Every structure is written in C-alpha cells, then in structure tokens.
Amino acid sequence: MNVPFVIKKVTPHVVESIWINPAEPHRHDHEELIIITHGNPTHLVDFAAETLDPPVILYVAQGKVHSFIPDEHTQGWVIRYTSDFIPESSFNFYSGFMDVINCKLDVDFCSTTMYDLCEIMLREYEQPPIDYNIIKHLLSAVLTKLESATKKDFLSNKSAGNSQVTTFNSFLKILEYNYKRPVGVEFYADKLNMSARNLNLVSQTVFGKTITEIIETRKLIEARQLLLNSGKTVSEIGFELGYNENSYFSRVFRKKTGTTPTSFRTQIHGIIS
C-alpha cells in the first residue's frame, strides 16, 4: 500500500463487480479487517476455506494468502491499513502471533456502535483532505474491541494445559510492567518461580514463540509508538526501552522492520501529514 489507510463499503454493486472479476488467492502487504453485517460470504486463508456467519469481524494479518468470495446478500466494510498506521495498538501485539482472528460480534453492537464507527471512517476517508488523525482514533476503537475478544479467545481456546496457559498469561502481565527494563528470560522465570528453560517451553507450547522474541516484539511496538507520538530522539527512545547502545537499538529495529528508526519516523510522518 502506498497510503496508510483504505476503507470500502461492501454493497450489491461491489459484490457484482467481484463476481465479474473474482480475485485469485493473493498475499498483501497490509493488515485487513473484513466486517460482515449480512450474508454468508466464503473466506479462504492459506488455502483453508470457511463460511462467515455475521455479524463478524475477520482479521487477516499481513503476508497471509487469502481470497474473499461474497454471496448475493453480503454487506459490510473492508478496511486495509499499514501495520505502522496504529503501532501503539496492543491488538497488534497479540495478533502478530496468531494466524487468523475471527471475532463474533454482538448484533446490537454491530447495528449501532460498529456501524457508526465504520460510516464515520468512510465519510472521513471520502472527504478530502483526509484527516488521518480522526481515522486513527476511530480505527483504534475497532481494534480495542478486537483486542478484548482476542485475549479472551486466545487464552481459552489453546490446546495447552490450563496450567501452562495460566503461566503464560502471568508472564504477559509481568511483561507489561517490565518490558522497558534491560532484562531477559531469567528475570521473568525468576518472577514466576521457574527455570528459564521451562518458561521457554511454556511459551513455545502456548504461543509458538520464545520469550526473547515476545519481549523484542513488545519493545518494538513501544518504539514505534514513541517514534510517532513523542519528540524524543532515537537515542532517548532506545535508552528508555533498555538498550544501552543506540547502535544496537537501531540494528534490532532495522532487523525487525527493514528500516532504521530515523527512516521509519520520517517516512510515516510524511505519509500521515
């Protein structure tokens, strides 16, 4: 995407155009939310198909191979946004480790709050010049709803034993208070009265990632937020996140994002402004 945000309303006209020119399964470079209020469209992700039962929000992470096939009654919205558009959303933290998020919506919520949020975003998007700050606040509200459902579903539906899920959930809570500190796996294992090896085994079983990977991901989310919304220098941000050397912080950031902290700040500010 060469813009940070796009929203389209799914109408009978849009459905007809999709039928005429159906899209092949494709991989995209952005995040996507498909909000369905009516109909029973088919969605294919990584070659596994499912029929959606509205009202529902489907989140498709960047890089996933997918296609969307509406039926004649399908209505809703499709929202596409770059992962850096709302880097401060903690939904990104959870969703980054999950393949597909399918969030069932309450009918009353969808017919009122969700409808209003999407319609206001659509109006702001179609009225130049686009005020991305307003859109960011509205999209944040949608992601907050998803975040709540994601945490609940993730912690209740994993195949790992209950004790492992409980341990991992406790780790996440400790992480939120300590991720800025220059500490590693041993610190969190000690807080949980277990060995670093066992904590990593729990993390791999429940989340499929090592503790170090999760810590770095959480630091990166905060780094993006500070780069976009604070006047702090790159060195100050790196130090705040527990990186004693600015060069090391820049290397980690570039390895994860493909760009330096300075370039990231310049590029995103340019897009948003």
Q: Average pLDDT, stretch 250-255?
A: 91
Instruction: Report DSSP state, residue 113.
Output: I
Give the number of other CB atoms < 10 A from CB of residue 101.
20
Calpha distance 71→155 (Å, rounded): 33
Q: Where does the pLDDT of residue 95 fall: very low under 50, low under 70, confident under 90, or very high at 90 and above?
A: low
Same domain, 239 and 125: no
**CATH no. for residue 10?**
2.60.120.280
Is the pLDDT at 88 greater than 70, yes or no?
Answer: no
Same domain, 101 and 136: yes
Per the model's pLDDT, the better-predicted residue between 223 and 257 turns out to be 223
Q: How far is CA 266 from the centre of its chain?
A: 22
The strand pairing partners of 131, in sequence order, are: none
Is the pLDDT at 160 greater than 70, yes or no?
Answer: no
User: Can you give the pTM of this predicted structure?
Assistant: 0.63
Q: Where does the pLDDT of residue 46 fall: very low under 50, low under 70, confident under 90, or very high at 90 and above?
A: low
Same domain, 200 and 153: no
Which of 157, 190, 206 is the C-terminal boundary of a domain? 157
How many structural domains compose the chain?
Answer: 2
CB-based contact 30:62 (threshold 8 Å): yes
Is the pLDDT at 248 greater than 70, yes or no?
Answer: yes
Same domain, 9 and 76: yes
Same domain, 99 and 39: yes
Residue 4, pLDDT score? 92
**CATH no. for residue 194?**
1.10.10.60
Burial class for 164, CB neighbours closer than 10 Å (0-12, 13-18, 19+): middle
Q: Average pLDDT, stretch 81-95?
A: 70
Element (H, E) at 31: strand 31-38
Burial code (b: 16+ CB inside 10 Å, e: under 16) for 25-36 equals: eeeeebbbbbbb
Per the model's pLDDT, the better-predicted residue between 85 and 63 turns out to be 85
Same domain, 149 and 215: no
Q: Average pLDDT, stretch 245-267?
A: 88
Per the model's pLDDT, the better-predicted residue between 228 and 59 turns out to be 59
Residue 156, pLDDT score? 52
Same domain, 105 and 195: no
Same domain, 9 and 130: yes
Residue 118, pLDDT score? 93
Same domain, 148 and 198: no
Cα-based distances in Å from 168 to 138, 184, 208: 31, 15, 12
Cα-based distances in Å from 143 to 57, 119, 213: 10, 16, 23
Mean pLDDT of the chain: 83
Same domain, 153 and 166: no
CB-based contact 47:84 (threshold 8 Å): no
Q: Average pLDDT, stretch 168-173?
A: 86
Nearest in space to 101 (alpha carbons), one of 140, 47, 50: 50
What single string gives the DSSP state of each residue in 182-197? S--HHHHHHHTTS-HH
Which of 136, 157, 178 is the C-terminal boundary of a domain? 157
Which of 157, 181, 206 is the C-terminal boundary of a domain? 157
Same domain, 183 and 145: no
pLDDT in tens, 182-200: 999 999 999 999 999 999 9
Q: Average pLDDT, stretch 260-267?
A: 87
| Structural domain containing residue 10 | 5-157
Nearest in space to 31 (alpha carbons), one of 94, 90, 70, 78: 78
pLDDT in tens, 5-45: 999 999 999 898 888 887 777 777 888 899 999 999 998 87
pLDDT in tens, 97-117: 555 677 788 888 777 888 999
For 243, how many CA atoms within 13 A lie in the half-sphere containing its CB? 21
Same domain, 168 and 142: no
Q: Where does the pLDDT of residue 270 fall: very low under 50, low under 70, confident under 90, or very high at 90 and above?
A: low
Residues in the chain: 273
